[in-house]
Structure 1
Amino acid sequence: MKPKHWCGMTAKMGTVLSGVFTIIATDMYLIFEQKYLRSSNCTEIDPGDMRIHSLIRHFVACWGFNIVIFLSCITIIISCLLIYSVYAQKYKGMVIYIIWIFFYEALNIVIQILTTKNTGIVEVRVMRWFGLVSRIFMHCFWIFFVMTYAQIIYKSNSQGTIISHRRRISTSSRDFPRRKSKII
């Protein structure tokens, strides 16, 4: 069966490029966002303002860069797992990647919302949002390839177990003709 092509790529090639894209995009995100996440307004909490929303905003303002570093390290590890899963033809690594990317981008949206007020220049806010939204759209594009290839691997593994199942062969003596032995 001839593999299908989307945008000039097979599902396998698109899956590998998805992992490479995620590694590069995560590195670029760390490089460009470190200035705005590190220079957050991390002051003492006003004792009169102890609402949960204020506490969360303060926590993200103070620890935002550390949270992003932690999430980015996990993302790079899972992207490497994706590339290995393509090599080893294991669909579970691809499923883990898909779930993690949705979780990772959701957390990045939350961090972006909570830290966007710390940036004073409007153009910088727009560029930060543009970077986040374009990365999310690109992840949606690449996840199509990952899901397709995971489905191909899953189907081939499930068919492989049916095909490779062998019938039990009887080894009793009545099934085999007896050999005449020579007596010297």
Structure 2
Amino acid sequence: MVNVGSFRVRLKNLFSGELCGLNAKEGTVVAGLFMLIVSIMQLTFQAGNFRYLQPLSTSSSSQFARLHVYCIGTITFTCLTFVAIVVLFLAIWKENFWGAAGYIIWIFFNEVAQICFLSFSLGNSGFPKSVKGLEWFGFIMRLLSHFFWMIFVIAHTIELYQIYRNADDPSKSKRKTPPKLKFAKVKELAV
């Protein structure tokens, strides 16, 4: 049986230590690289879906419009995700928590938009059932992967926020400087 106290301790150790050999910063970098690869794959897949964007007849113009909105909307969100990934990498490099927090918000917004696109645009569209199934499978796998990688991004964002908060408050950021070392001159060292 799961003990709530041990679960809390494990979760605390997870955020304070390393998970799978990665600390929070390294995991955030890998999360950004993961999303970069997934975005490239999604962009390639959506560009391949343009072959289905041929109006078959005048009666299927609503299907054509839905497919067109789906493909163009997904490609637009994927391109904006590239921008969010660059912002994440800059935030890691400059140690700015706003960029990492913005990435978390963007991923949430992007996935909500993707599920809306999948639900409303692919309902009775002209895509084959295999393509629809592949779209849903890709979405579910990407969503499950986000749950794992967001642990690192959230932990790193919290670390960056604590650094930012301590930098703003001079009473918290007083560091003890080590005493200056006095080096002897060459003549004093001679025996």
Give the TM-score of the pair, scaled to structure 1: 0.73
Moved more, 28-37 or 80-89: 28-37
SS of residue in 2 equivalent to 1:119: coil
Mapped partners of 1:145, 1:152: distance in 2: 11
Gaps of 5+ in 1: 47-53, 166-184
| Cα distance in 2, alignment partners of residues 95 and 44 from structure 1 | 46
Write the deviation string for residues 12-63 of structure 1: whole angstroms up to 9, x where unpaired.
01111111111110110111232335514656578xxxxxxx7xx7643223
Identical residues among aligned pairs (%)? 27
What is the aligned-residue RMSD (CA, Å)? 2.6
Equivalent position of 1:49 in the other structure = none
Question: Corresponding residue for 1:119?
Answer: 127
CA contact (8 A) 1:15 1:149 kept: yes
Structure 2 gap ranges (5+): 1-15, 175-191
Of 113, 116, 132, 1:110 maps to 116
Q: State the AA in 2 paired with 1:29.
A: Q
Deviation at 1:91, TM superposition (A): 0.5
Please say if 1:95 is aligned against 2:108.
no
Q: Which has the larger radius of gyration?
A: 1
Question: What pairs up with 1:1-184 in 2 under 5 angstroms?
Answer: 4-40=17-53, 42=55, 44=58, 59-113=65-119, 114-115=121-122, 117-120=125-128, 122-162=129-169, 163-164=172-173
Structure 1 distance, partners of 2:78, 2:130, is 25
Query: How many residues of Structure 1 are paired with residues of Structure 2 in the alignment?
Result: 155
Supply the AA of the counterpart residue of 2:142. Answer: R
Query: What residue identity is the alignment partner of 2:30?
Result: L
